[in-house]
């Protein structure tokens, strides 16, 4: 059972390692061009996801800290 959990954690970590750079690239390109990247509205989707929570300011700051720590690493 522990091996299965370790494998799942490893797969999730690899997925995050692949997804976060694409997310950051999408945000940067959309901020530079002002239009969605290939129909993918990254900034709008992030804003909508953050807006669903009650404390949008806290969630936004937390998201920025996570992205910064990932990029800075």
- pLDDT value at residue 55: 55
pLDDT at 14 over 70: yes
Output DSSP code: residue 52: T
Q: Quote the CA–CA distance of 12 and 37 in Å, as a whole number.
A: 25
pLDDT tens for residues 15-47?
Answer: 888 888 887 777 787 778 877 767 777 777 777
- The chain-wide mean pLDDT, for the chain, equals 76
Give the sign of the dihedral formed by CA 25, CA 29, CA 34, CA 37.
negative
Q: Quote the CA–CA distance of 11 and 48 in Å, as a whole number.
A: 27
Domain ranges of the chain: 2-72
Note whether 30 and 47 are within 8 A (CB).
no
Note whether 65 and 73 are within 8 A (CB).
no
- pLDDT value at residue 21: 82
């Amino acid at each position: 059972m522990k091996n299965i959990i370790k494998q799942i954690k490893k797969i999730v970590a690899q997925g995050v390692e692949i997804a976060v750079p694409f997310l950051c690239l999408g945000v940067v390109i959309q901020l530079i061009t002002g239009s969605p990247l290939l129909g993918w509205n990254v900034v709008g989707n992030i804003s909508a996801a953050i807006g669903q929570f009650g404390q949008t300011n806290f969630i936004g700051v937390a998201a920025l800290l996570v992205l910064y720590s990932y990029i800075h690493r």
